[in-house]
Structure 1
Amino acid sequence: MKRRKQFPGATAYFDRHGKRRWRFRKGGFSAELGSEYGSEDFVRRYEDAVNGHKTRGLIGADRTKPYSVSQLVALWYRSPEFLDLALSTQKVYRGIVEKFREEHCDKPVRLMQRRHVQTILAEKAETPTAANNLRKRLIQLMDFAITLDWRGDNPARATKPFRVGGDGFHTWDEDELAQFFAVHKPGTLAHTAVTLMLYTGAARVDAVKLGPKNVRNGKIEYRRQKTQRSGGVLVSVPIHPDLAEVLDRLPKDRPFLATQKGTMRSAGGLGNLMQRWTEDAKLPQCSAHGLRKACARRLAEAGATAHEIGAVTGHKTLALVQRYTEAAGREGMADSAIEKLIARPNGERNLANLPKRFVKSDTKPKQGKDNL
């Protein structure tokens, strides 16, 4: 079976100095991609080229209807608000916005009303998370339209988000971790990947980049890709003995989760592998992101403070840490809380030795307003 190219449309050539370079070509459209194949700059240029090919007939002011949805999207892509986003975030946002753009490209932005937004979102009612993500992007687009003086209000803000059940990505529990490691033994890539993410709290996009170069003084140090545009949050995590045992077996000249060729693995590729590994372990509800939450859960159950957990996971706000630690062992914490109440200091009477008057139930009906 023919292997699918990682970057379809990208071809190599040699410039007049004999240096190998890459360009994107498709349907008469061409764009330079640089000389470092697979680098962050290469990926950014490639995504811009693919998007430029898809929308080349729309972006030009002479080809796009003035004040239309298509023109608004094109201008937003070039705005500081959008360009300041991490490349991975830009890619996600484009995937959402482009579908909306294709359906409403020539419609005038100034005529959009709340009822129109509600109708658009209602079409995604069966997938409330997707509907809410679209709503967020529409709010951003309409806010941007206000800055352009195209309109004076934001109809998307007047809508309400859909109620979403559950707590987002499933948090791995200890039984699930044991079940996974029972199937994927030490020495396998699956075991290494899960151990790495479990003991560092690293997201997929960061985990694939980690390697011996990130180890300093017994710690793994890196800056989160998601926050690189704003300087990047420095994460410095002491290496747990269980993780150290796994890392000691790995080559020292390549990333921890490298491909067979020794090159850095893509975050998407790791995600696909994780899906296969969890299915093999009969854990389809588990994911790579759930390991990040499991790391936070473990820290919370060990008594770590929200600030301490945030230092490991790289979260900027305590509210985000709270979301990640909601799955902490509530039952165990409840047991601990009641035990503290039973064994109150200063010789106070405990719950197991209450006076009889608090135990007896009064069967006589009370008089007064309470019985009305």
Structure 2
Amino acid sequence: MDISKLSGGSYEAWPDVKLLAFERSCLTNDLTTALTAFEVAIGTGQRIGDCAKMAWDDFDGEFMNVIQDKTKAKLRVYCPERLQQYLGSLPRKGRHIFPKNLTQPIGKRQIQKSVEDVRGAIGIMGGKDRLVPHGWRDTAAKLLAEAGCSDSEIQAVTGHKTLTMVQKYRTQADQETSSKRAQQRREQNKTVR
């Protein structure tokens, strides 16, 4: 009672420039855990905690079986070609995609720490430029919306229980597309500034 809620930061899709900076930093510094979290989270549209539990047996080369911890939803998510190729390039050092040893995954917190280190290195840990890993889930949903996927198709990937969240991404994608189309018409007209 009378305790204010902690602010966890905004959950928003990452801009392309920050996605590229994160990827580049991981590749330059050989940060496999952070890069794998990035690829799996965006590729499947899942939360970091759900990605942490993924085992190689969950991936059949095309689909990833997911049990969402928050909702208990069981999903079978098709992995885009980029993720299929990335996972195919990873050495299998245990039962899990994020192996602690042969039979256990590393913890969610260890993955988060590896991601925090990269976020710090590229300047998005705090302030107005702060972006959080949950934003990768939003990035996946936004990319799907921008590709013209229906709300139910986006929901089939992300597992969102309500259409309210899915419609958020649709609105963002529609707004950006409409803005671009309008400004391009403006440039074609060139009668006014």
Shorter-chain TM range is 0.7 to 0.9
Q: Which amino acid aligns with 2:113?
A: N
Q: Contact 1:274/1:287 (CA < 8 Å) preserved in 2? A: no
Partner of 1:221: 65
Partner of 1:239: 79
Match of 1:265 among 87, 106, 116: 106
Q: Are 1:277 and 2:118 an aligned pair?
A: yes
Q: Distance in 2 between matches of 1:311 and 1:189?
A: 26
Q: Contact 2:42/2:140 (CA < 8 Å) preserved in 1? A: yes
| CA deviation vs aligned residue, 1:16-66 (integer Å, no higher than 9, x gap) | xxxxxxxxxxxxxxxxxxxxxxxxxxxxxxxxxxxxxxxxxxxxxxxxxxx
More relative contact order in 1 or in 2 (CA 8 Å, sep 6+)?
A: 2
Structure 2 spans left out of the alignment, 5+ residues:
none
Residue 76 of structure 2 aligns to a residue in which SS?
Answer: strand
Q: Are 1:191 and 2:31 an aligned pair?
A: no
Deviation, 1:194, is: 0.3
Residue 70 of structure 2 aligns to a residue in which SS?
Answer: helix
Residue 255 of structure 1 aligns to a residue in which SS?
Answer: coil
Partner of 1:333: 178
After superposing on structure 2, the runs of 4+ consecutive aligned residues of structure 1 that deviate more than 6 Å are none
CA separation of 1:170 and 1:335: change in aligned 2, threshold 3 A? closer
Structure 1 spans left out of the alignment, 5+ residues:
1-99, 101-119, 132-166, 343-350, 353-372
TM-score normalised by structure 1 residue count = 0.43
Q: Distance in 2 between matches of 1:287 and 1:338?
A: 31
**Number of corresponding residues:** 181
CA separation of 1:190 and 1:329: change in aligned 2, threshold 3 A? farther
Q: Which amino acid aligns with 2:85?
A: E
Deviation, 1:268, is: 2.5
Partner of 2:144: 299
Q: Are 1:176 and 2:18 an aligned pair?
A: yes
Percent of residue pairs identical = 25
Residue 236 of structure 1 aligns to a residue in which SS?
Answer: strand
Q: Contact 1:219/1:237 (CA < 8 Å) preserved in 2? A: yes
Larger Rg: 1
CA separation of 1:225 and 1:283: change in aligned 2, threshold 3 A? same
Q: Distance in 2 between matches of 1:235 and 1:293?
A: 17
Deviation, 1:331, is: 3.2
Q: Contact 1:187/1:246 (CA < 8 Å) preserved in 2? A: no
Q: Contact 1:292/1:313 (CA < 8 Å) preserved in 2? A: yes
Deviation, 1:246, is: 1.4
TM-score normalised by structure 2 residue count = 0.79
Q: Distance in 1 between matches of 2:117 and 2:161?
A: 32
Q: Distance in 1 between matches of 2:79 and 2:155?
A: 16
Partner of 1:43: none
